[in-house]
């Protein structure tokens, strides 16, 4: 154990840590919570413009609770992991309905909100309310695993439990906000996955990974397994500068977003379009295919451009025609936006 771990980390953060991130300007719980949700599995530089646009539209919790899921998803479009957006919206409404519109301060109540796990709840409690809580996100796991030579893959439950015990033992009596930010900053700027800058680290002389030359070994790697691959054909049904979109189910990939109709890879796209009730007018054309990578699988997408006649009846619920010059505000998955921007460009 390093007796002065917390004071040394706090001193380093105050001198070398990040102090100009947009969410650091306020300790208001809503702003803190929003940033923590957006930063889950997403880099800071990617989050910043989304965070600013989101706050411009939903400046407080009441505004978010009053907004629609469609609006939330549109602002989230391109950020990925869309369940975060749906949970954020659901949590805002729960806070409005069950907590009088005030963000709860009790750890158990925070963690009970949709989309908030133990570490995120602790970060909100620490930054917004100054509570002594231990965090353990990906950056912190890497720092602790290296400094204290915790063996094994952090995703393993036994290893994670050891890291939680260690994280809790290090929480200081005072300075929790600078300490928590320091852990995040250390992992994000110095103790990085690929090229750690050990020479600038405040724990370079104590870090067991550095002393033993094991930075590449710690933390332990995820056990390797084959990544499943899937394939799908997407139908780009076009008429008069518009494309047909279908709203996806609330659960699953791209839940609640507007996407292109699909058919199995290898199926006849013309027949698939006709099965949807559309008459083809002109030649169907295959567009360039590409692979989109998710956390647990890779999806090969083969788009087909199909000019169609307008249907003689109103569209079914869950379908909409979108103008190709009106993509900016639409709640679209990244691959669908890529396809449509290629058409409009």
Count the Cβ atoms, other than its own, within 10 Å of residue 32. Answer: 21
The number of residues making up the chain comes to 345
Catalytic residue among 28, 36, 217, 286: 36
Q: Quick check: 250 pLDDT over 90? A: no
Which residue has 């919790």 as its token pair? 61
Question: Strands (DSSP E) along the chain, which ranges?
Answer: 229-239, 242-247, 258-259, 262-264, 285-286, 290-293, 298-307, 319-323
Q: Which CATH number fits domain 229-344: 3.30.1310.10, 3.40.50.970, 3.40.50.2300, 3.90.79.10?
A: 3.90.79.10
What is the residue extent of each domain of the chain?
5-212, 229-344
Superfamily (CATH) of domain 5-212: Hypothetical protein; domain 2 (1.10.340.30)
Write out pLDDT tens, residues 275-325.
988 999 989 999 999 999 998 899 999 999 999 987 655 567 889 999 999
Q: How far is CA 113 from CA 89, 104, 181, 280, in A?
A: 11, 10, 23, 48
Local confidence band at 160 (pLDDT 50, 70, 90 cut-offs): very high
DSSP string for 46-83: HHHHHHHHHHHH--SHHHHHHS-HHHHHHHHTTT--TH
Q: Which residues contact 33 (CB under 8 A, 6 or more apart)?
A: 103, 116, 124, 128
Is 199 assigned a catalytic role? no
Give the SS3 label for residue 261.
Answer: coil
Write out pLDDT tens, residues 170-209.
999 999 999 999 999 999 999 999 999 999 999 999 999 9
Write out pLDDT tens, residues 45-104.
999 999 999 999 999 999 999 999 999 999 999 999 999 999 999 999 999 999 999 999
């Amino acid at each position: 154990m390093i007796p002065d771990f917390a004071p040394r980390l706090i001193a380093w953060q105050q001198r070398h840590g990040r102090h100009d991130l947009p969410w650091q300007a306020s300790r208001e719980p809503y702003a803190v919570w929003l940033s923590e949700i957006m930063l889950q599995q997403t880099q800071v530089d990617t989050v910043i413009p989304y965070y600013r646009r989101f706050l411009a539209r939903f400046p407080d919790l009441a505004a978010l609770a009053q907004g629609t899921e469609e609006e939330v998803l549109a602002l989230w479009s391109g950020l990925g992991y869309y369940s975060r957006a749906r949970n954020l919206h659901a949590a805002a409404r729960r806070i409005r309905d069950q907590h009088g519109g005030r963000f709860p301060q009790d750890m158990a109540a925070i963690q009970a909100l949709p989309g908030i796990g133990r570490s995120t709840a602790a970060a909100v409690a620490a930054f917004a309310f100054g509570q002594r809580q231990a965090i353990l996100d990906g950056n912190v796991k890497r720092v602790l695993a290296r400094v204290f030579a915790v063996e094994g893959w952090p995703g393993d439950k036994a290893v994670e439990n050891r890291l939680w015990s260690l994280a809790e033992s290090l929480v200081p009596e005072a300075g929790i906000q600078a300490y928590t930010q320091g852990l995040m900053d250390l992992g994000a700027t110095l103790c990085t996955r690929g090229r750690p800058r050990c020479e600038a680290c405040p724990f370079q002389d104590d870090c067991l990974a550095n002393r033993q030359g094991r930075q590449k070994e710690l933390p332990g790697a995820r056990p390797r397994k084959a990544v499943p691959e899937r394939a799908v054909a997407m139908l780009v049904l076009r008429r008069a500068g518009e494309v047909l979109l279908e709203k996806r189910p609330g659960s699953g990939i791209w839940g609640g977003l507007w996407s292109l109709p699909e058919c199995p890879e290898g199926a006849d796209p013309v027949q698939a379009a006709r099965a949807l009730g559309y008459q083809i007018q002109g030649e169907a054309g295959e567009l360039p295919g590409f692979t989109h990578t998710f956390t647990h699988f890779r999806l090969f997408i083969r788009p087909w451009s199909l000019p169609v006649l307008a249907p003689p009846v109103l569209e079914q619920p869950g379908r909409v025609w979108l103008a190709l010059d009106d993509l900016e505000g639409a709640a679209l998955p990244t691959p669908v936006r890529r396809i449509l921007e290629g058409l409009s460009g």
